[in-house]
Each structure stands twice: as structure tokens, then as C-alpha cells.
Amino acid sequence: MAKYSFKCADIGMNCGFETKASTKEELMPLIANHAKTAHSMNEIPADVMQKVNSAIKKSLF
Ligand SMILES: [Zn+2]
């Protein structure tokens, strides 16, 4: 089963936030919600979104 994880620090944020989900579709709203509450991003800018996408790690186990 695949697992997706994201660390805020991986996109250059000085932030210890880390989240995991079993699908990318589940992971994205968790990231969006964090960006909104912790980083005051009501909408994630396209350039940040690109960084987020490349920072998402997929692990298989
Ligand atoms: Zn963060």
C-alpha cells in the first residue's frame, strides 16, 4: 500500500509540519488546510503548489 507524506520544511518553510495520507487526493486538502491556518495562504500560489508537488514523497510498504 502506498503512502504519501509531506513536510513543510521540504519547501523551504521554517515549519515543523508533517502530514501523511494514503492517497494524494487525501493529502492535498491536509496541506491546503495547513497552509491556510499556519501560513495565511487562503489559496496556494502556483509556484508554491509546484514545490509542494515535488516535495510529496511516496513510500511503498
Ligand atoms: Zn507549514
Please say whether the beta carbons of 4 and 24 come within 8 A.
yes
Ligand 1 centroid–CA 31 distance in Å is 8
Q: Rounded to whole angstroms, how far apart are CA atoms 42 and 21?
A: 22
* pLDDT attached to residue 60: 81
Mean pLDDT by runs of 10 across the 61 residues of the chain is 92 96 96 97 95 94 66
- If you measure from the C-alpha of residue 20 to the centroid of ligand 1, how many angstroms do you get, rounded to a whole number? 14
3-state helix, strand, coil in the chain (%, to 5): 50, 25, 30
Between the CA of 51 and the centroid of ligand 1 the distance, in Å, is 13
Q: Identify the bridge partners of residue 6 per DSSP, sorted by sequence position.
A: 19
Main-chain dihedrals φ then ψ at residue 25, nearest 5 degrees? -65, -30
Amino acid making up residue 33: N
| pLDDT value, residue 61 | 66
Q: Please state the pTM of the whole predicted model.
A: 0.90
Q: Where are the domains of the chain?
A: 2-55
Query: Which pLDDT does position 26 carry in this prediction?
Result: 96
Cell triple for residue 20? 501523511
CA of 43 to the centre of ligand 1 (A): 14
| 60 Cα–ligand 1 center, Å | 25
